[in-house]
Amino acid sequence: MPARPTPRRAWIERVARFGFAARGLVYILVGLLAAGAAAGMGSRATDPHGALRAVGRQPLGTAFLVVLGCGLAAYAVWRFLQAGLDLERKGSSLRALAVRASFIASGVGHAGLAFTAASLAVGLHEGRSDLVRSWVGRLLDEPNGRWVVAASGLAVIGSGAYQFYKAYSCNFENDLLLSRMTERARRWSRRVGRAGFVARGVTFLVIGWFLLRAALEVNAHEARGLAGALRVLGRQDSGHWLLLVVALGLTAYGLLSLVDARYRRVT
C-alpha cells in the first residue's frame, strides 16, 4: 500500500490543488471573454486582472472574488514553497536556480492577482493602469534600460517558443499522476494541454515582439500585456477567427489547470 502522506505533505497538496483550481477558472474566464469579443457578443478581450473585474460585476460576484482570491493566494504560496523547499528536487545548479526563480516570479504574479481580487471584493474599484507599459516606461527612463527591455522581449519570445515545444512534446504530462487517470482522461488532458500551450505560445510571441518594438523605438506605448496582445490579434485580417482560436486555446489551458488540480504530482 502507498505510504500515507505526512501532515506537511497533505497541507501542501491541499494548498496547491486549491490554487490550481482557482487559476484554471481565471484562465477559462479570460478565454471565454476573448471568445465573446471575437464573436461580437459585447465582451472585451482582457487579461486575468480584467477577468476578475468582470467577475465582480456579476451577481454574487463578491463571494466569487473571495473564493478566487483565496485560491490565487494559495497558488502563490505553493509557488513560493516550490522554490524555497525545492519540492521538485531541482537542485542548486545555475539552471536549477533559474527555474526556482521562475517559480518565485509566478508566485509574485499570482499574489498580485489575489490582491486584485481582494481589492475588488472590498469595494476598491479604482482604475488599474497598464502595468506592462508602466514597467517598460520606468525602465526606458533608466540608463541602458532599453537593453533590459529588449532582453526581456527576447526572453518572452524564447518562453513562447518553449510553450510550442511543450505542446509538441507533451512533457507537461510528466507532472501528472497518469496512473490515476483513465485512458479517456489522459487523451483529453493531452488535447487540452496541447491547445493551451499553443495559445500561450502565440500570446507570448506577440507580447515579446511588442517589447522589442518598445525598446527599439524607446516608446513604452508600444508595449503590450496579454490583453493588448489579444486585441492586436483581433485587429488582423480575419482577426476575429484568429482571436477565437487563441481564446479557445486559453480556455483549454484553464481546463488543463483543473486537470492539475486533480492529478498534479505536487510533492
Can you give the pTM of this predicted structure? 0.89
CB neighbour list of residue 160: distance below 8 Å, 6 or more residues apart: 200, 201, 202, 203, 204, 205, 207, 208
CB neighbour list of residue 91: distance below 8 Å, 6 or more residues apart: none
CB neighbour list of residue 144: distance below 8 Å, 6 or more residues apart: none
Q: Is 90 exceeded by the pLDDT of residue 8?
A: no
pLDDT bin (cut points 50, 70, 90) of residue 2 is: very low
Residues 156-211 have pLDDT tens digits of 999 999 999 999 999 999 989 999 999 999 999 999 999 999 999 999 999 999 99
Distance CA 150, CA 155 (A): 9
Show the cell assigned to 174: 510528466
Distance CA 216, CA 153 (A): 11
Residue 232 pairs in a beta bridge with none
